[in-house]
Structure formats: structure tokens, C-alpha cells
Amino acid sequence: MATSPLDAPRRALQPSFDPAFRADVLRGLAGPAKSIPARWLYDETGSEIFEAITQAPEYYPTRTETSLLQAHSADVVRQSGADAPVVEFGSGSSLKTRILLEHMPKTTYVPIDICGEFMDAACAELGARFPGLEILPVEGDFMQEVPLPSCVKSSDGASPEALGFFPGSTIGNLLHAEAIDMLRAMRRTLGEGAWLLIGMDRTKEPDRLIAAYDDALGVTARFNLNLLTRINRELDGSIPLDGFRHLALWNDERSRIEMHLEALRDVRFEVAGTPFTMDHGETIHTENCHKYTPQGMEGLLAAGGWATQCHWSDADGDYSLLLARAHDHARG
């Protein structure tokens, strides 16, 4: 039975004035090395700007991953089964999911995202496109085990094994230890025997990476700077928006792109009644995007409890799509 996203059961997260956001921002701005977790980049505006980033000519990951999904989704579904419930972590626009769902249009789809407004709009579009699909959105944080609707994960093991979907190299936003914890939480969320289809970006020449995260039209800059607008709006901040610029740096030692907001002059501001000062040139670290070797990806998945079954890449070796299975059920 098709379910309207608006009727579907939802776990409530916090209201728009989120105490966790306030705590992360106040803690992150207090120390000498300032940083704010990347998840807060995704309010409704941030999610919309992220979609625009995926269209930027320099941003190769979305195009490459989309081609890989077009080439290999049928094979994925042959292995998982067309009735496997699809559980997507950080679903955003759910645009790539459409490619997978073409092969399983009557299954159950559980998108999980921290930005509920954007997810609702994406689910409405998906419901219109796949009328036989049951859609059960969950607004929540994928860093923890997420309780799934009982029809997806029955306690008697009667429902088909789920197919987790984690595209966009979103895993790259996490530090190594966080990524392992997250993969383990995913395994608990999905249950024994589950499948995981994950997209991960590969290491490549720093110039190409920096261009992808600092596009000529300034879309990524808008995405990053929107965090300051969000802080001002939701946390009663007075951060001067013209006092900062977007920076994308390659950290070779840690194999990652880092996004920062750099102060263009000495600045003073308040957030939620707390005063802060930053010196000219000081930065707020807002996102990491780790890049992996093919061996590194499979090693990370194994540490998180997932055995790689298939590993696909494009002809240029830019990006990987991997199908993994919870260890005990893995072949070999």
C-alpha cells in the first residue's frame, strides 16, 4: 500500500531551536581551534544549496556515482532481492535512490535524514513517481542506531533482509573512528544478514579535489557561509557575514579536503548571549571530506562489520560503489 509521507510514522527530533545545535556551536567556538560538526550545514537552505553543488561542473562525485548506480543497480537488486526494504542514511533529495527503486518499485523505502523539511519534499516527489512504494521517513541522526518501523525489521526475522543505502561519500565527513562507530550502528539498525550499498570517493590529484569543493560559481562557498546565517537566525547570533570567506584545503597527511570559514579581519560577535572574538586569518573548521584508496575503503567497511561483496569503479578510477554484507552472512 502506498503511504503518504505526511501520514507515515515519524520520530520527532528537536524543534528548530535545537539544544544540540546550540551546545555544538558554543563548544566549537570556545576553543583555540574552532570547529562545528558538518551535520549543521544541512538546514533546509543548506540542503537546497547542496543540491546545487551536485550540479556544479567541478563536482564530479554525483555524476560519477549516478553512472555507477545506473550500471550496477540491477546487479545489486539481483543479490538483495526486489522486495528488500531500502533504508537510506542521509537521504537528502533521494534523487539517486530513484535509480535503485526502478528495479524495486513496490518495496518499502525508509529515508533517514537530519533535515525533516527537505526530506518531506523529496518523499512527496518519490511517492508520485513510484505509487506502489511504501515510504516511511524517519527524521533522525544516523550516528546512532535508528529504530526502524516494525514492518521493516520484524523481531521474528520474517521480513526480508534490508538493503542499506549510503551514497554521496557522506561517510567521508566522519573521522576514521566515527566512521567505524557509524558503520557498526548501521549494522545494528539494519540487522543480521543486511546488505549495504555505499558510495565512497577516491584519492586523486589535490587540484581536482580543491576545485570540486571551491567551484568557480561560488556555490560551495554559499553552502559553507549559510552556516553563519543559520547560527545568527536560530541562535540569536551577531556574526558579521561579510567578515568571513569560504576556504577549501587539501590535508595530505589525513587524506581529506577540509572546509573552513576564515575571518577576513578581527571580528567580535555573540551567539546565544555568549561573546566571541576571532583574529584576522583564524578559521572555523566546518567539514571534512575524507578520500580513500580502494583497500582503505574495504578495510574501513570490515572494521565496521561489513564484508565487501562487489566493488565497482568508473574507468578513470575516480569513485567507488561497494556492495557489502553483514559479516556473518558474507560469502567467503
Ligand X SMILES: C[S@@+](CC[C@H](N)C(=O)[O-])C[C@H]1O[C@@H](n2cnc3c(N)ncnc32)[C@H](O)[C@@H]1O
Residues that bind ligand X (CB under 6 A): 39, 42, 47, 50, 54, 90-92, 96, 112-115, 141-143, 167-168, 170
**How far apart (Å, rounded) are the C-alpha atoms in residues 312 and 72?**
8
CB distance 136 to 9 below 8 Å: yes
**How far apart (Å, rounded) are the C-alpha atoms in residues 198 and 186?**
12
| Cell numbers found for residue 120 | 518531506
Shortest spacing between CB 329 and ligand X, in angstroms: 25
Residues 6+ apart with CB under 8 A from 316: none
Shortest spacing between CB 237 and ligand X, in angstroms: 21
From residue 208, give the alpha-carbon distance in Å to each of 104, 149, 205, 320. 35, 42, 6, 17
User: Which is closer to ligand X, CB of 130 or CB of 269?
Assistant: 130
User: Which is closer to ligand X, CB of 96 or CB of 230?
Assistant: 96
**How far apart (Å, rounded) are the C-alpha atoms in residues 104 and 150?**
20
**How far apart (Å, rounded) are the C-alpha atoms in residues 108 and 171?**
24
Shortest spacing between CB 226 and ligand X, in angstroms: 13
**How far apart (Å, rounded) are the C-alpha atoms in residues 229 and 192?**
42
User: Which is closer to ligand X, CB of 94 or CB of 308?
Assistant: 94
User: Which is closer to ligand X, CB of 50 or CB of 292?
Assistant: 50
Shortest spacing between CB 155 and ligand X, in angstroms: 25
Shortest spacing between CB 53 and ligand X, in angstroms: 9
User: Which is closer to ligand X, CB of 129 or CB of 265?
Assistant: 129
Strand order in the sheet with 256-263: 34-35, 283-290, 256-263, 244-251
One-letter amino acid for residue 259 of the chain? M
User: Which is closer to ligand X, CB of 141 or CB of 236?
Assistant: 141
Shortest spacing between CB 260 and ligand X, in angstroms: 18
Shortest spacing between CB 160 and ligand X, in angstroms: 23
Residues 6+ apart with CB under 8 A from 150: none
Q: Choose among 202, 18, 27, 25: nearest CA to 115.
A: 18
Length of the chain: 332
